[in-house]
């Protein structure tokens, strides 16, 4: 049963945690890991058009799926590479490729998963930090609302990151991540929380995709983009939940960041067997 009448759910990455000084490094991780995975499998057949143009296509796919589960992001990027279509697909069959690529895609998913996690681990140790105001804010709110985490990160990684960044488990009623099959997305988690019967439910998160999840689950939404957004929210809560639904575009400098950093990493590391994740993360974030 709920302890309080209303609840606040927080996304994790990019919301409680600032992913690097610009909160952008995960996008570069996803784009590079996708390219590298294709490069090292038969999907390399589709990388002939030149890294510059192909990176632009990968960026275009990525920016439609920030905040989505990692394999959904990967499928959108692969689709952009092989079919010029920047939309995710549910399974290999969605690409309508020859059978000779089925095994390559399965293999590429594994390589992508390993490289993406490697880059994330390197960044988490050095560049990912909770927003400055976040822990005090959570402590204050925990006495007033039931607090949850609703993240697209898989449950095991989420629990590890939660502990690594020293969050207080006692502040939260529960911590919900995705499952490794790519299920239990944030929309499902929010719907499940809603069924607990809260009078009001607010989702605090950082991407347009998160806003879609909030709309699907019919809960309120508040966007975090900088620490100042927590200070603004602290001025409103406890109180009536805000509901800020305007979507937003990535800024030109953000697109440029994804493109430039990814292109450099591709040029430097696409054929390197043992990737130096710490060096790569340092390059992305400095």
Using the minimum distance from each CB to Mg ion, give the nearer residue, 13 or 185. 13
Segment near Mg ion (CB under 5 A); pick from 2-10, 39-47, 61-69, 85-93: 61-69
Q: Is 14 in the site for Mg ion (CB under 5 A)?
A: yes
Closer residue to Mg ion in complex, CB, 43/157: 157
Contacts of Mg ion in 109-148 (CB under 5 A): none
Question: How many residues bind to Mg ion according to rule CB under 5 A?
Answer: 5
- Consecutive H or E run containing 231: helix 227-234
Long-range contacts of 179-184 (CB under 8 A, 24+ apart): 179/154, 179/155, 180/154, 180/156, 182/69, 182/71, 182/72
238 upstream amide cis, omega within 30 of 0: yes
Q: Are 162 and 149 in contact (CB under 8 A)?
A: yes
> Among candidates 139, 143, 131, 160, which has minimal Cα distance to 231?
131
- Which residue of 20, 27, 67, 177 would you call a contact of Mg ion, by CB under 5 A? 67
Give the residue, chosen from 9, 11, 120, 230, that forms a contact with Mg ion under the rule CB under 5 A.
11
Q: Give CA separation, 127 vs 82, 122, 231, in Å.
A: 33, 8, 22
Tokens encoding 230 = 């927590």
Residues 147-206 that bind Mg ion (CB under 5 A): 206
Query: Under DSSP, is residue 153 helix (H, G, I), strand (E, B) or coil?
Result: strand
Between 13 and 161, name the residue whose CB sits nearer to Mg ion.
13
* Minimum CB–partner distance for residue 46 and Mg ion (Å): 29
- Nearer to Mg ion by C-beta: 126 or 225? 225
- Rank residues 45 and 212 by Cβ distance to Mg ion and give the closer one: 212
Stretch that binds Mg ion, among 65-73, 139-147, 184-192, 262-270 (CB under 5 A): 65-73
Instruction: Write out the residues near Mg ion by the rule CB under 5 A.
Output: 11, 13-14, 67, 206
């Amino acid at each position: 049963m709920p302890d309080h009448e209303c609840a606040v759910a927080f996304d994790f990455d990019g919301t409680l945690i600032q992913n690097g000084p610009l909160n952008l490094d995960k996008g570069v991780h996803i784009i590079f890991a996708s390219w590298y995975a294709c490069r090292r499998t038969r999907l390399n057949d589709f990388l002939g058009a030149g890294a510059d143009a192909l990176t632009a296509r990968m960026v275009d796919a990525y920016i439609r799926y920030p905040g989505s589960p990692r394999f959904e992001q990967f499928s959108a990027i692969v689709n952009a590479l092989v079919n010029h279509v920047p939309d995710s697909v549910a399974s290999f069959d969605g690409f309508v490729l020859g059978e000779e690529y089925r095994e390559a895609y399965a293999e590429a998913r594994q390589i992508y998963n390993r490289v993406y996690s490697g880059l994330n681990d390197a960044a988490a140790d050095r560049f990912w930090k909770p927003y400055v105001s976040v822990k005090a804010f959570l402590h204050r709110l925990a006495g007033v609302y039931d607090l949850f985490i609703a993240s697209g990160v898989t449950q095991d990684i989420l629990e590890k990151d939660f502990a690594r960044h020293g969050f207080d488990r006692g502040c939260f009623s529960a911590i919900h991540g995705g499952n490794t099959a790519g299920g239990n997305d944030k929309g499902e988690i929010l719907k499940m929380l809603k069924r607990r019967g809260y009078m009001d439910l607010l989702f605090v998160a950082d991407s347009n995709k998160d806003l879609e999840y909030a709309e699907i689950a019919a809960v309120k939404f508040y966007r975090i983009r900088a620490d100042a957004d927590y200070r603004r929210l602290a001025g409103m809560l406890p109180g009536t939940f805000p509901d800020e639904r305007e979507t937003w575009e990535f800024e030109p400098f953000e697109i440029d960041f994804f493109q430039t950093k990814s292109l450099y990493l591709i040029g430097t590391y696409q054929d390197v067997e043992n990737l130096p994740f710490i060096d790569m993360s340092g390059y992305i974030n400095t």
